[in-house]
Amino acid sequence: MNSLGNIFWLLLGGIIIALIYYVVGLLMCITIIGIPFGVQLFKLGTYALWPFGRELVNGPNEPGCLSVLMNLVWILLGWWEIAILHLFFGLLFCITIVGIPFGIKHFKLAIASIFPFGKKII
């Protein structure tokens, strides 16, 4: 079932979301200061590529001081706009019964895109 969900996810725009995360992650990695943010974008892109059968959870001993500080910087730099887009698409998918699982994944991506530091994919 997870494979079928992932295939439909890719067909309904998941590949575009993942590509956007990867491209912006590459752009962030151009500078030394942007590398931690680029790594988080790669993590979000990987989760956005195959979300069914995977979860983003807090890592061991997280949230720590550094991850909280980096999440605050992440929010202040304007990455919360990604979360608003995921909330919008989540609501859009939840209009139909068939789209509810995809909407739930968008809601999980919205939470992860607000606080990406200290998370890991299982």
In the prediction, which pLDDT does 88 show?
94
Answer with the residue of higher pLDDT: 26 or 79: 26
Q: How far is CA 71 from the centre of its chain?
A: 13
CA 10 to each of CA 14, 54, 55: distance values in angstroms, whole numbers, following the listed order: 4, 15, 17
Judge whether 120 and 56 are in contact, CB under 8 Å. Answer: yes
Does the pTM surpass 0.85? The reply is yes
41-99: pLDDT as tens digits = 999 999 999 999 888 888 887 778 888 899 999 999 888 888 999 999 999 999 999 99
Neighbours of 83 (CB within 10 A): 19
Judge whether 48 and 21 are in contact, CB under 8 Å. Answer: yes
Structural domain range at position 38: 2-121
In the prediction, which pLDDT does 41 show?
94
Tally of domains within the chain? 1
Give me the residue label for tokens 């139909």: 96
Structure token pair of residue 28:
């962030």
